[in-house]
């Protein structure tokens, strides 16, 4: 049984529930290949199915330059954060990205509160391997930071 929850930080967390009888642990191995389907959040009918993500290949931050019409040169310079997968939806100016997070990475810092003027410390991601003691309970084993897609 799989349960997917969506957080307000645009991080999707995959929770898995299983009975681990005669199995010591269950985890997504480092460097695994993931196959997922993604959707444009602005268009319910725009879907890319069976996207393959190689978790061992993190693309570095890059500058996204788009030139529109030859007669009218309109350059758009945007920074694309480090990612494992990127695509540009039709009629969109910026690339959409997915980054696979591991349990040792921190979530982005929350914006400072206008009342208090302080920023909260980032929370650690709860992802971990599932062990025999977790049998019958949901355990978060994968976190995907998504920008511009679901």
DSSP 91: T
CA distance 132 to 16: 13
What are the pLDDT digits (tens) for 52-103? 999 999 888 877 665 555 555 455 556 788 899 999 999 888 888 999 987 7
**pLDDT by residue (tens digit) across 28-62?**
888 899 999 999 988 889 999 999 999 999 888 87
- Helix, strand, coil percent values for the chain (each to nearest 5): 0, 45, 50
82-91, 118-127, 139-148: least confident range: 118-127
**pLDDT for the residue 62:** 76
Q: Are 60 and 83 in contact (CB under 8 A)?
A: no
Residue 57: phi and psi, rounded to 5, are: -110, 95
């Amino acid at each position: 049984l799989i349960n997917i929850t969506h957080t307000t930080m645009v991080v999707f967390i995959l929770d898995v529930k299983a009975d681990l009888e005669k199995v010591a642990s269950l985890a997504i191995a480092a460097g695994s290949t993931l196959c997922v389907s993604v959707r444009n959040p602005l268009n319910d009918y725009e879907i890319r199915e069976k996207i393959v993500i190689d978790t061992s290949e993190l693309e570095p931050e890059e500058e996204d330059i788009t030139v529109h019409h030859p007669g009218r040169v309109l350059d758009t310079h945007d920074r694309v954060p480090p990612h494992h997968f990127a695509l540009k939806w039709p009629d969109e100016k910026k690339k959409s990205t997915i980054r696979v997070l591991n349990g040792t990475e921190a979530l982005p810092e929350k914006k400072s509160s206008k009342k208090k003027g302080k920023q909260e410390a980032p929370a650690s991601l709860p992802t971990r391997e599932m062990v025999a003691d977790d049998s019958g309970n949901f355990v978060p084993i994968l976190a995907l930071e998504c920008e511009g897609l679901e």
